[in-house]
Chain A
Amino acid sequence: MANTIQTHMKNNTLPLVHFFLAFIMLLIGGTLGLLQGLNRGGVFELPASFNYYEVLTLHGILLILAFTTLFTNGYLYAAIRHTLGELSKTVKILAWSSLASFLIGSLLVVWMVLAGEATVMYTFYPPMQASPWFYIGLVFVVLCIWLAGLGVFISAFQWKRRNKGQHLPILAFFAVGIYTLVIFGSLGVTVEVLMLIPWAFGWTETINVMLSRTLFWSFGHTLVNVWYLVAISVWYTILPKIIGGRIFSDTLARLVVILIVILNVPGGFHHQIVDPAFSEGLKFMHVFMSLSIAFPSLMTAFAMFAVLERTGRKRGGRGLLGWLWVLPWGDVRFLTIMIAMISFIIGGAGGIAQTNNQLNQVVHNSLWVVGHFHITVGVTVVMTFFGLVYWLIPHLSGRVMTPFIHHLGMFQTATWTVGMALMALSMHAVGLFGAPRRTSYTTYGDSATALGWEPYLSFLATGGTLLFFGVILIVYIVFHLMFFAPKGDTPFMDSRVEDNAHPTPKWTENWGLWVIVAILIISMGYVVPLVDLIENAPPGSPPHRTW
């Protein structure tokens, strides 16, 4: 029996190492989050040597770049190995190089931040100038994602060659879409970083600030939608199996992937609604381009309710809402994903609000925004990730989840949900009253306005503390399932499509076409503003170091 564990661990080293590192990042990033929440709530002051903004920079980078990237790569490589068969040697080399590139990159980035050479936030807006090694670190992080993507594309291509005329399995189809989107999304930021490096070394004297900022945001928000696409790949393909149902419509799922890939990149422009240097007409067009992303999400909402209702009725649910109560609410693998999906209704609505011109101006750069992405990323995406670990990690490590871990998981889910709800809802509220984001605790000389924020900020700190306990619990659960749970077989939970489903049309497989359409739509969003920003550029900005 001990041998089977060793075999499992050996065959699945790649995803297991990714998950191991991902949850280490979550542990460190979450601890930093606790420090921030407590500081922001006015509970305690960070020592001067460990500045709030340094902590915030690391918290952002470790959680939104490192944790999500590692988890996504681990999950998708496990998924393609399961659906497409053993990885070829080339793909394995690419995957391990991707991880190596990530480690080099994040080591450089974290080192520079800790050394106080890069207290520039996750957005690293110039003309604030970090050490060139910070930007070089970012290049390696992007390279990591490209290498991982290349591996998935090659796997999919090899499978198609072996299985002529067949549709790529749906989970692998998601993986191809996810890496296509991330590569499109990272093109802008790559150009930006390649301009920042010579500037940071002092080889060029000035930098075009608005151009950099615009290139950054073509990536900044797309990245969020990459995680979201990863999350819905779980909802479409894994959730039905967990509740004992089938995929509602294979075609619908594939269409949603395609739409998200082609519509997303220009969506990031809504971060610049109150920026100078763009005309009102251009901003209005971008409201439309951002809102269009809501369309595939609406399709997803329908598909999810369809799966839940069909399965609920099959399980004996009657009447208008009877199907809802018979769903397996006591199963942590379902509960986590269900909470993730419910929170997306709130997060999606908030997102639509921020995309809109005038509503954006009310909440821009306030704590509302931070509340929004703690709901969308911190619950919708991360809770979906948490939902996977209860079966995916034991599947990979050749173990089974015990009832104790299941109970602990339910408790973790409750802690996380209550913590996020407290924190994110108070952030939304206090953001409406004008409390700024990315700002350490301050009362602005005891101004009445700022003092009015205090009660909300204490709720924020309380939520943050609960979340820290949530982090400790999930890290314990993950490591237990990886190394200490009893031996046994845990199956991979992917679902089949309904028996009477319509056949999936051929055009869904035509990635060449979708890439062209995506390029056209990205051009529609970005050619005019980028040309304008280059042609009508002010004299560039010299570097500044304000930390």
Chain B
Amino acid sequence: MKMHRFEEIWLIFGVAVLVISMAITGYQAFAQGMAPPSHKETIDPAQVENTAPFDNPGVYQTGENEYEVVMTLQAFSFEPSEITVPKGAEVTFIMTSKDVIHGVNAPHTNLNTMVVPGQVQRITQTFHDSDEFLLICNEYCGTGHQTMSATITVEE
């Protein structure tokens, strides 16, 4: 197929942009550890309350400035719903759903992921500023979906 010379230049330019974009994405994902949350652990969705660690949701300190939040989601609440961590802490959320699919987002942070029944999801976020963050469900989960929220208080 014969192509116009300008078109060849344009396509080479376009493909170069895509390749560079892939390279940056790949570098961030694999070299800098910024891959999207991709946990592959499964759980019986009907037995969440009887399965460790979800039999005991809460905030746990796991190291110096490292915390784990064990969290269960159900229509239309998070448990725990009030989380307090110190400034600069690296917080790993370990989450699962007791019923339908939920989404978890803390606006103004990169904490944004899906929580699916039958799956355990892990996502880590470091809170650098002392502030009160809102944590919301951002996947439609039923008629009370707009009330499903929690707060993360980051203390000085």
Q: Which residues of A contact B (CB under 8 A)?
A: 51, 53, 56, 119, 121, 125, 127-128, 208-210, 213, 249, 251-252, 255, 272-280, 283-284, 287-288, 291-292, 294-295, 298-299, 301-302, 306, 352, 356-358, 360-362, 364-366, 433-442, 444-445, 447-450, 502, 505, 536-542, 544, 546-547
> How far is the CB of B133 from the nearest CB of chain A, in Å?
8
Number of A-B residue pairs at CB separation under 8 A:
222
Contact B101–A274 (Cβ < 8 Å): no
* A277-B119, A365-B139, A442-B147 known; A358 vs B40 contact (CB < 8 Å): no
Task: Choose from A121, A209, A294 the contact partner of B14 (Cβ within 8 Å).
Answer: A294
Q: Does B52 contact A (CB under 8 A)?
A: no
Chain B hits for A119, CB < 8 A: 143
> How far is the CB of A442 from the nearest CB of chain B, in Å?
4
Contact A277–B40 (Cβ < 8 Å): yes
| Max count, chain B CB within 10 A of own CB: residue among A278, A302, A437, A448 | A302
Task: Choose from B29, B100, B106, B137 the contact partner of A357 (Cβ within 8 Å).
Answer: B29
Of all chain A residues, the one with the shortest Cβ separation from B106 is A434
B37-49 near A? 1/0 per residue, CB < 8 Å: 1111111111100
Task: Choose from A255, A275, A357, A441 the contact partner of B35 (Cβ within 8 Å).
Answer: A357
Of all chain A residues, the one with the shortest Cβ separation from B13 is A298
Task: Choose from A251, A276, A449, A450 the contact partner of B120 (Cβ within 8 Å).
Answer: A276
Q: What DSSP secondary structure best describes chain B's contact surface?
A: mixed
Alpha-carbon distance A278/B132, docked complex (angstroms):
32
Alpha-carbon distance A509/B144, docked complex (angstroms):
53
Chain B hits for A537, CB < 8 A: 42, 118
Contact A278–B99 (Cβ < 8 Å): no
Alpha-carbon distance A254/B94, docked complex (angstroms):
49
Q: Would you give 29 A-B contacts (Cβ < 8 Å), ordered by A? A: A127-B117, A210-B118, A274-B37, A276-B114, A280-B36, A283-B38, A291-B21, A295-B11, A295-B14, A295-B15, A299-B11, A356-B21, A357-B28, A357-B36, A358-B25, A360-B36, A362-B110, A365-B105, A366-B105, A366-B138, A433-B107, A434-B107, A440-B145, A442-B146, A447-B149, A540-B45, A544-B99, A546-B144, A547-B143
Chain A hits for B119, CB < 8 A: 209-210, 276-277, 538
| Max count, chain A CB within 10 A of own CB: residue among B10, B14, B35, B101 | B101
> How far is the CB of A473 from the nearest CB of chain B, in Å?
31
> How far is the CB of A73 from the nearest CB of chain B, in Å?
29
Contact B40–A53 (Cβ < 8 Å): no
Alpha-carbon distance A276/B46, docked complex (angstroms):
18
Q: Does B112 contact A (CB under 8 A)?
A: yes
Chain A hits for B141, CB < 8 A: 128, 546
Alpha-carbon distance A33/B123, docked complex (angstroms):
35
Of all chain A residues, the one with the shortest Cβ separation from B101 is A125
Chain A hits for B120, CB < 8 A: 276
Alpha-carbon distance A434/B14, docked complex (angstroms):
31
Contact A538–B45 (Cβ < 8 Å): yes
B120-147 near A? 1/0 per residue, CB < 8 Å: 1100000000001110111111111111
One of B1-9, B54-62, B83-91 at the interface: B1-9
Task: Choose from A209, A292, A302, A541 the contact partner of B7 (Cβ within 8 Å).
Answer: A302
| Max count, chain B CB within 10 A of own CB: residue among A208, A291, A299, A365 | A365
Alpha-carbon distance A299/B14, docked complex (angstroms):
9
Contact A449–B44 (Cβ < 8 Å): no
Contact B21–A358 (Cβ < 8 Å): no
Of all chain B residues, the one with the shortest Cβ separation from A301 is B10
Alpha-carbon distance A275/B75, docked complex (angstroms):
19
Contact B114–A352 (Cβ < 8 Å): no
* A283-B38, A436-B103, A438-B139 known; A447 vs B146 contact (CB < 8 Å): no
> How far is the CB of B31 from the nearest CB of chain A, in Å?
12
Contact B36–A127 (Cβ < 8 Å): no
Task: Choose from B2, B110, B138, B142 the contact partner of A547 (Cβ within 8 Å).
Answer: B142
Q: Does B113 contact A (CB under 8 A)?
A: yes
* A53-B143, A505-B1 known; A280 vs B29 contact (CB < 8 Å): yes
Alpha-carbon distance A435/B139, docked complex (angstroms):
12
Chain A hits for B147, CB < 8 A: 442
Chain B hits for A301, CB < 8 A: 10
Of all chain B residues, the one with the shortest Cβ separation from A508 is B1
17 more A-B contacts (CB under 8 A) besides A362-B112, A538-B43?
Answer: A128-B142, A210-B119, A213-B101, A213-B116, A273-B36, A275-B116, A276-B115, A278-B38, A279-B38, A287-B25, A357-B29, A365-B139, A434-B136, A436-B138, A447-B151, A540-B118, A546-B144
Alpha-carbon distance A352/B110, docked complex (angstroms):
19
> How far is the CB of A102 from the nearest CB of chain B, in Å?
26
